[in-house]
Structure 1
């Protein structure tokens, strides 16, 4: 894959009008977009359909988790929307139900392991005894066993996860920050080049692009860094 197919721009903006503005500004530089809760609850599902109809790839970041039947029915409908990727929390029963529901659709299901905004103290507070790294590895093993299309994890865990899932599964890493950029609420971050070298297949970048004075220039600078890393 070329760098453009690996860069996913997170449209973490409050309105569809602002999302449309960002897509116009990015023009043909970006072909893959992430739509999450903020935009979904502001009319973003129809916007996601429109992007797919216009030939863009859409990563619907819904982090599904529910009883098996509810997860399956949701996945079936999302597959019909033409989405390229969909997240669900990497719980084994939910993943197995989703994989069965998505069979034959071309929808890439991604298991969310440990959010990149969480560290060891956050996991302890949530009732887990594992470190983030140990829990990511366990979830990766379970996702592979369930037949998932890929994993969402921090770039810090990408190398370990790649060793677990092999070359065929996607490793999608949020928390990507160009050198010198603010971390914001992310705690486990890497630069684009570092993440690709670590084994990530797709990079999710939101604020460094959508909040930039010139989003297209910011995206193209990241794409140039990614291209150089892929050549190396």
Structure 2
């Protein structure tokens, strides 16, 4: 994985308008080189923004969390690959992952399997009908993703270390729910600091509100980058 901290920090553009997203990108300038576009922004022009970011030399993580029948997954992945984005998420169900891997063959698209959302805990999973607790389900899906040939996993940094042991060094381990030690958790239930996440085996950290809602976004981003750099050199 890259030793450049900027390649490992992904800023989430989880805002409602293109104007706000463009303002965030402009204010961060060359401090940030990797952005996540999710559902909120995708449906108001976010896919066009993805193309613009790629044209500007940035990396793009398209967080669509796809889940559908095999054919629909395959056709969606084929079109997304043509956008030229770097990463794409889908829920880590074996059939969906297998269809996506086949569709992405020959492209540079990194497919990421979403294991368990960081906003969910064991109680939430039980209410949703799952028998496994969060940690067990994450590891089960990591094994399936590695076997199927996915490019990486999305999980809480709390599970990054055992996931890294399962998937080896070549797969991405992308961890949302990252907060500074004095930061607010918000709606995240399984949060970890940047330095701990990196030392636990995370390849990429996804950070949204602590940067995009900061009064000084560049300074906020630099705080996260500093912790990544410190963890890398430890």
TM-score bracket relative to the smaller structure: over 0.9
User: Which of 201, 204, 207 is equivalent to 2:203?
Assistant: 201
- What aligned pairs does 1:112-123 form with structure 2 within 5 A after superposition? 112-123=114-125
After TM superposition, which residue ranges in structure 1, 4 or more long, deviate above 4 angstroms? none
Report the equivalent of 2:216: 214
Residues 1:189 and 2:195 aligned together: no
Report the equivalent of 1:50: 52
User: Which of 136, 139, 142 is equivalent to 1:140?
Assistant: 142
Secondary structure, aligned partner of 2:219: helix
User: Which of 91, 94, 107 is equivalent to 2:93?
Assistant: 91
The alpha-carbon deviation at position 94 of structure 1 amounts to 0.5
TM-score by length of 2: 0.98
The alpha-carbon deviation at position 49 of structure 1 amounts to 1.1
Distance in 2 between the 1:3 and 1:54 partners?
Answer: 19
Report the equivalent of 1:127: 129
Q: Deviations over 1:39-66 (max 9, x none)?
A: 0111111111111111110000000000
Distance in 2 between the 1:222 and 1:94 partners?
Answer: 33
Distance in 2 between the 1:41 and 1:106 partners?
Answer: 24
TM-score by length of 1: 0.99
Report the equivalent of 1:231: 233
Secondary structure, aligned partner of 2:196: helix
Gaps of 5+ in 2: none
Distance in 1 between the 2:218 and 2:82 partners?
Answer: 30
Distance in 2 between the 1:227 and 1:169 partners?
Answer: 20
The alpha-carbon deviation at position 205 of structure 1 amounts to 0.3
User: Which of 61, 64, 67 is equivalent to 2:63?
Assistant: 61
Secondary structure, aligned partner of 2:112: strand
Distance in 1 between the 2:105 and 2:218 partners?
Answer: 36
Over aligned residues, Cα RMSD in angstroms? 0.5
